[in-house]
Amino acid sequence: MAMSLRLTDEETEALRAQAEREGRSMQVVARAAIRQYIEQDGHRARVAASASAGARRYAEALRRLGEA
């Protein structure tokens, strides 16, 4: 699927500079950044869900530890 991405002049220049440093096209760098963002956001969501589940599962133990 094709799409247009509108960037500010500053964003465009930063992307261009990054692409030059990496020896890759601006498109490849932008797509890699988008993939990385999505992966990291998914990881954060999984960690938050795991922490929440652990807090519920061990709520009594955590309460007791807080009393010590």
Angle at 37 between CA 3 and CA 23, to 5 degrees: 75
pTM: 0.63
Cα gap 68→57, rounded to integer Å: 19
Cα gap 6→1, rounded to integer Å: 16
Kindly write down the DSSP assignment for every residue of the chain, as one continuous string.
--------HHHHHHHHHHHHHHTS-HHHHHHHHHHHHHHHHHHHHHHHHHHHHHHHHTHHHHHHHHH-
Chunked in runs of 10, what are the mean pLDDT values of the chain (68 residues)?
A: 92 98 97 94 84 88 84
Give the pLDDT of residue 11: 97
